[in-house]
Amino acid sequence: MRRASPWLSRTAHLLTGDAARAEELLRTALARVRRVWWRVRRAPELYAHQILVKTYAAWWRRERHSAPDMGLSQHETVDVHVTRMAAVVDKARVGRRRRALAVAVCLLLAATVVTMTTSHRGSEPAAAVPTPSSAPREGEYREGARIVAKGMALTPEPVAVRYRPRFGSPGVFTECVADDGRRSGFRVAVAVNGVPAFETLCGGLVPETADWSGLVVGKEAVVTVTAFPEPPVAGAEPLPVPPGSEVRVSLGEPVLIDEYPLPPRPSRIASVENHVASEDGEVLLRSDPADPSRVQQVTAVLPERGTYRFVTNAPGRVLVDFGGVARTLGSWDYADYVSVHELPVTGGEVTITARPENHQGDWALLLMN
């Protein structure tokens, strides 16, 4: 609430034009977020903003038929709301046109660069010059997020991607390709406005310990990604990062699960039974075949240190609460998926609750031996 209220308050005041009604609208949105926190905590600002706009739209429709006594006639009140709503719609249309124009300009520039590079390739040696960021395709999604910014560079140059965060920490997706076309497994360091955020294997997931203190919602940020060699193993020399390797970066903002374009369900999906049987672990919780959306709960004694695995055969999220410590698990396609994580709580008796969120198949949560 502290993080999102200033931004949401400005939006509410823009919509209502009245301080008291803006405060009422803001409190309504935050109250609804609180009631469904377990479902929306991955992107609470996004959900609050949607509720804010939808609630105002409902007020506006209701007041068209019965205007409140605010010192104006019914006709004058309706005119004020109609004018304001028309301005909001026009602004949205202008934004879409600007984005479409930006995409067209970027495509034109990219085509020009490719043409110039091809024409000079025979006479000039190739140079590892970073290429400019490219605009994401409209409706481009990945791993539960909508892509909002992209960039690419050739090593040893870092990739710098500019974007304006709206909903907190972004999804960071990296891909590294060596100059011979093979995908490379070196590591990348990610920084936000010069503040180190995390390190991970190129193409790997963002760790839960990532530091996003350099990110401010609503203020333009620069996300810098730098490739570096894997640390040496058993005294061996680290393999260098091949110069001229391509490092691609995409930034995504989380979306609600019911707005994410899940793939169509195939005629047959693999069972999770084989994975569960092959794992050396204890099944803590499983999906209910008769009711995939059913909330599952168990009280178990966890070790002081250990790992758990999440196995699924279909897209969708499962929100797991380990005695007050929340984790979001899931997949985004119908391929078999197994993820391994360290237990987020210390040993002892813990109540574990799993809430499926638009999950399309079977899943299992295992405590590894």
pLDDT in tens, 334-360: 888 888 888 988 888 999 999 998 888
The sheet carrying 141-142 orders its strands as 141-142, 145-154, 246-254, 171-177
Per-residue confidence (pLDDT) for residue 296, from 0 to 100: 94
* CA R_g for the chain: 25
Name the residue type at position 190: V
- Is 90 exceeded by the pLDDT of residue 187? no
Whole-angstrom Cα distance, residue 91 to residue 233? 56
Greater model confidence, 129 or 56: 56
pLDDT one-digit tens code per residue, 240-255: 788 888 999 999 998 8
Whole-angstrom Cα distance, residue 329 to residue 315? 10
Whole-angstrom Cα distance, residue 52 to residue 275? 43
pLDDT one-digit tens code per residue, 124-149: 433 334 445 667 776 789 888 899 99
Q: Look at 121-125, 165-169, 193-197, 298-302 and tell me which has the smallest mean pLDDT.
A: 121-125
Q: Name the pLDDT band for 72 (thresholds 50, 70, 90).
A: very low
Share of the chain above pLDDT 90, in %: 23
- Is 50 exceeded by the pLDDT of residue 121? no
Write down the mean pLDDT value for the chain.
78
- Is 80 exceeded by the pLDDT of residue 324? yes
Whole-angstrom Cα distance, residue 141 to residue 151? 16
Greater model confidence, 307 or 113: 307
Which tokens hold the place of 361? 């198949």
- Is 80 exceeded by the pLDDT of residue 66? no
Closest CA to 48 of 95, 106, 5: 5
Whole-angstrom Cα distance, residue 256 to residue 283? 28
Q: CA-based angle 282:288:291, to the nearest 5?
A: 165
Residue in this structure with the two tokens 């008291």, named with its chain if needed:
20
Torsion angles phi and psi, residue 261, rounded to 5: -75, 85
